[in-house]
Copies of this chain bind each other. A is one copy, B any other.
Amino acid sequence: MKLLVLNGPNLNMLGRRDPEQYGSETLEDIEQLLVDTFPRYEISFFQSNLEGELVEEIQSLTDSNRDGVIVNFGGYSHTSVAIRDALELVELPIVEVHLSNIHAREEFREQTLTGAVADGIITGFGNQSYVLGVHALEKLVEK
């Protein structure tokens, strides 16, 4: 299985951020965790703080030979119509993940514009949200 893991704004700062809220691991730790947990999969990673770069990376998926995509758009999840429009063009399985439980934080994080066009959402399990996301993709790809 060939996967893309797409991370949005500020996720490159993981581990330097308040560990009570997000855990103490860095984004590299998460990437390594995925590589170690799924050694037979070909996983590539992309992180950007720019809304438009995320749009373009999503657009490039239509021409790639990926089997699925894990997305965590951080703050853009709640505000970006542009990313949502881009996601709707993707015909691959999409799993949205969040480190923290978005339903247990500020009210404006409860709605996810991008998650509404994903296949499913996993939220609140720290770095394990990503691992569970890959497991979820496995099943979606099987269908």
Chain A interface (Cβ < 8 Å from any Cβ of B) = 8-10, 12-13, 16-18, 48-53, 55-56, 59, 62, 74-76, 78-86, 88-89, 101, 103-104, 108-112, 115-125, 128-129, 131-132, 135-136, 139-140
Contacts and interface: CB of A to CB of B under 8 A. Distances in A.
A47 to B, nearest CB: 11
A84 to B, nearest CB: 7
Given A79-B79, A121-B124, 18 more contacts: A10-B82, A17-B89, A49-B59, A52-B52, A52-B53, A78-B81, A79-B82, A81-B109, A101-B115, A101-B121, A103-B115, A103-B116, A104-B115, A121-B122, A128-B136, A131-B135, A131-B139, A132-B135
